[in-house]
Amino acid sequence: MFQALVFIFVTSIVAYFSIPKYRDIARAISLGRMAPVNGSVGQRWKNMALFALGQKKMFSRPIAGIFHLFIYVAFLFTQLEAIEIFIDGISGGHRFFAGKIGVLYPLLINLVEGLSALALVATAVFLIRRNILKVRRFHKPELTGWPFRDANIILFGEIVLVISILMMNGAYQALSLTLPDIYPDGGKFFLSAWLTQPAFETHLTSYAGMCERTFWWLHYLVILGFVAYLPHSKHLHIFLAFPASYYGNQHARGKMEKISGVEREVREMLGMDPGSPSDAEPQFGAADIHHLDRTTLLQAFSCTECGRCTAECPANQTGKRLSPRKIIMDIRDRCEEVVKNSSYQRKENGELEIADGKSLFDRISREEIYACTTCNACVEACPVLINPLQTILEMRRWDILMQGAGPASWNSLFNSLENSQAAWSMSGTRTDWMQTN
């Protein structure tokens, strides 16, 4: 009874301090503007199944993909054991499902143990890759300090989770041999029976009982630690990759969103039907997060910081300051800054105003956005369908259309487009060549 009270108290404390942080993230995403979602619902579900659940793009680098799959599948199945721990914690009992679901119980626990062992190997490989082999994409300027430690913290947490499962299960099996009334037999768990159970059988029952409880609590506290830590971590992608891939852009890569007001003017200028007028004010790019749409902000919180985008970026490879991963991390940091300072309010017309005197341009320099070749390699590489290019283009639009800025060398291109509707100032219409050839 006392243990159940402590369990409920500790769980409630963690929930009390964690829920506001999750609420802050929801608030941050809602700072983005509403934008129509394109593509079919069927395709969205398919994208979510393929890219978030199936991790399809992770296998473009097969070794990393397989090890990541070990951790991911182990995470999914360990939740079954976590559910039982939660029920046992509240009821003050042991192994709620043992004996209730027949042979399925040892099957599931053996599956959890097997996957946990694979996850342990994968975790060790990832730690070595980051900290000893120093894979280049994990040692870029934007991944120093906290973002680098963040990955290590989670990897060490996973090691503690796996070890505590195996120790807890080994001690439990030793106890169920001597005190079956208190510790109901759940069948044989092969890995822990071989690895850890012998260490408890040679000691007093009270020692095995103490160890079982210690590792049970350790396992649960690490789970609670993850719950409290996730909203501060890139590992939020475990959950947010699902909605992010569902709402991801389905347009052909490279298709730029038109600015409705400007499109009307251009069509009028070319003698074409301008289409029906829209009541909405045209949006000329983005200077800050409330100019970006909600999907972009959601994706910023879904970024795994894997750096695959940056590794593929030709600008980054040739030593430019641009890193698409940093663009996404900057969006997320700016969201958190605005929410933390509560420096925003909705005007009467529903528009959002951010009044801290800062913008995305304080984090993302013009040097970065104009270094982009718009090649789409980052979009192609991202395993969770994030589109860093979209934000780069929006910021360029703001800089050029609202600030009259942008590289001076681009002005001749703009003049050509305006005067001759062609990139090169050709006389006549740009399609004449088709008739003469």
Binding site for ligand SF4 (CB under 6 A): 303-309, 312-315, 322, 324-325, 328, 372-378, 381-382, 384, 386, 388-389, 392
Q: Which is nearer to ligand SF4, 322 or 338 (CB)?
A: 322
Cβ distance 28 to 344 under 8 Å? Answer: no
Compute the distance between CA of residue 428 and CA of residue 51 in angstroms, rounded to an integer.
Answer: 47
Q: Which is nearer to ligand SF4, 291 or 325 (CB)?
A: 325
* Min CB(25)–ligand SF4 separation in Å: 16
* Min CB(306)–ligand SF4 separation in Å: 4
Q: Which is nearer to ligand SF4, 146 or 194 (CB)?
A: 146
Q: Which is nearer to ligand SF4, 170 or 248 (CB)?
A: 248
Cα dist. 60→253, 314, 375 in Å?
18, 18, 19
* Min CB(378)–ligand SF4 separation in Å: 3
Cβ distance 28 to 301 under 8 Å? Answer: yes
* Min CB(99)–ligand SF4 separation in Å: 44
Q: Which is nearer to ligand SF4, 312 or 394 (CB)?
A: 312
* Min CB(149)–ligand SF4 separation in Å: 17
* Min CB(385)–ligand SF4 separation in Å: 8
* Min CB(382)–ligand SF4 separation in Å: 3
Q: Which is nearer to ligand SF4, 235 or 308 (CB)?
A: 308
Q: Which is nearer to ligand SF4, 223 or 306 (CB)?
A: 306
